[in-house]
Structures are given as structure tokens and as C-alpha cells.
Amino acid sequence: MASSSRIRIRSEEWDRRLHEVQVTKHDLNRLIMDYLVIEGYKSAAEEFCVEANLSPPVDFDSIESRMDIRDALQRGDVEGAITAVNDLNPEILDTNPALYFHLQQQKLIEHIRHGRIAEALQFAQEELAPRGEESPEFLSELERTMALLAFDSSPSVPSGIAELLSPAQRMKTAGEVNAAILESLSQGKEVKLVQLLKLMSWGETMLEERAEFPRVEK
């Protein structure tokens, strides 16, 4: 679009419009509470709930449970994490076959990581192979995981396979579980402040195609 066709918004007009937007303290408090809940700051969420006179958005004990499950997965205790998820809400895994498969996949990875090859082969055959037959996506993930055995002593492991043994893989699985728990609690999966920043960035991009305006300092 030619620059001559763009609208120019003066600083005074821009500031006036910004000040016309009313954001209540209650709305700001809810954004802060949303951040504390999703990021897992139980004690801070409890204190802020009292100070800001807010109704608890979730059972605060569920925050601690989520963090315990995340920590278990990040140290490789998949069985402990599965037990904790079922104690929290057994429907989470019953209604989410992809999540359950990824937890079982992570359990297979942990067997391989610790050199428990016999256990890994038996577990893959009994638990994961039947699920792989039900879904091409699951089968592909199973094959990629089993490839770790083929490249165990190779100095040139393909990155797409080697990453399964990285801390990032554990974090990815923990993130999926965390999102599923939040969804079961009717809580957003992503911090609303992050969503607002993304929306602001998108809005600026769209606006600058049509107008010249004072940019928000980042």
C-alpha cells in the first residue's frame, strides 16, 4: 500500500484515545491471578486472592498437584506422574488417548535412557505397539522412539531422534499434561497476559499497514 494512502494519527490524538480506554483494577487483578494460577505460584495466588478480594478461580490444592506432576515428569518419574494425574482426575487420561500415548512414550524413553533394553522392548510390544496400530501418528512416534536403540552407539544420531533424550522432551510432555489439567479445570492453557501481548503485536502490524501512529515502546 502506498504511503500516501496511509492515515497519519498525531501523538495528541493517539494519547487521547489511549486514555479513553478504561481498564478496571478488578480486571488487572484477574490478569495477575490468572498468571499466578497457570504458572503454579500457589502461595502467592492464595495471598493475592485475599488481598484483592477475589473468588478463587480454582481449587488452590490443584496448583500444587500440577507442579508436583510437572516436577515428576521433569525428573523422569512417569509412573508417579500418571498416578498423580489419575488421583487428581482419572477422566483426564481416559478421554485423551494422545496424551496417554505420549506419557507411555516418555516412559519408554526413560527405559532406554537408563539402559533397560529388555524392559523397553517388552513395554513397547505390550503397551505401545497396539496403540500404534490404531493411529499412524502413534506408530510414527513409536518408530522414532525405537530408533534410539539403533543409534545407541552411533556418533551421528539424527537430531530428530536425539532430541527425545533431551530435557526439552520431558518439558514438552509435562507441558501437555499441564495443559490438559488446566482444561479439565476450565482454566485457560496460556497466560492471558501473554495472549494480550500477542494480540497487541498483531494489532500493531495490521494498523501500520493503514496508518502512521506512535509505536508503543517495548
pTM over 0.95: no
Average pLDDT, stretch 195-214? 77
Plot region of 44 (φ>0 → left; ψ -120 to 50 → alpha; else → beta): alpha
DSSP 55: -
CB 79 within 8 A of CB 53: no
Interval 59-75: pLDDT, tens: 888 899 999 999 999 99
CB 178 within 8 A of CB 66: yes
Nine-digit cell string for 214: 506512535
Give residue 68's identity as a one-letter amino acid code.
Answer: D
Structural domains of the chain in order of their starting residue, each with its CATH number: 1-57+190-218 (1.20.960), 61-186 (no CATH)
Q: Hey, what amino acid is at 40?
A: G
Query: Average pLDDT for residues 39-58, to the nearest whole number?
Result: 90
Comparison of pLDDT for 109 and 188, the residue scoring more: 109
For residue 28, pLDDT over 80 is answered with yes
Confidence at 154, pLDDT banded by 50, 70, 90: low
pLDDT band of 40, cuts 50, 70, 90: confident
Task: Express each pLDDT in 100-146 by its tens digit.
Answer: 999 999 999 999 999 999 999 999 999 999 988 888 889 999 999 99
Angle between helices 167-184 and 97-113 (to 10 degrees): 150
Distance of CA 205 to the CA centre of its chain: 26
Closest CA to 179 of 69, 72, 105, 75: 69
Q: Give me the phi and psi of 144, to 5 degrees please.
A: -65, -40
Ramachandran assignment for 53, one of left (phi > 0), alpha (psi -120 to 50 degrees), beta (any other): left
Mean pLDDT, rounded, of the chain: 86
Strand-pairing partners, residue 211, are 7
| Res 76 pLDDT > 70 | yes
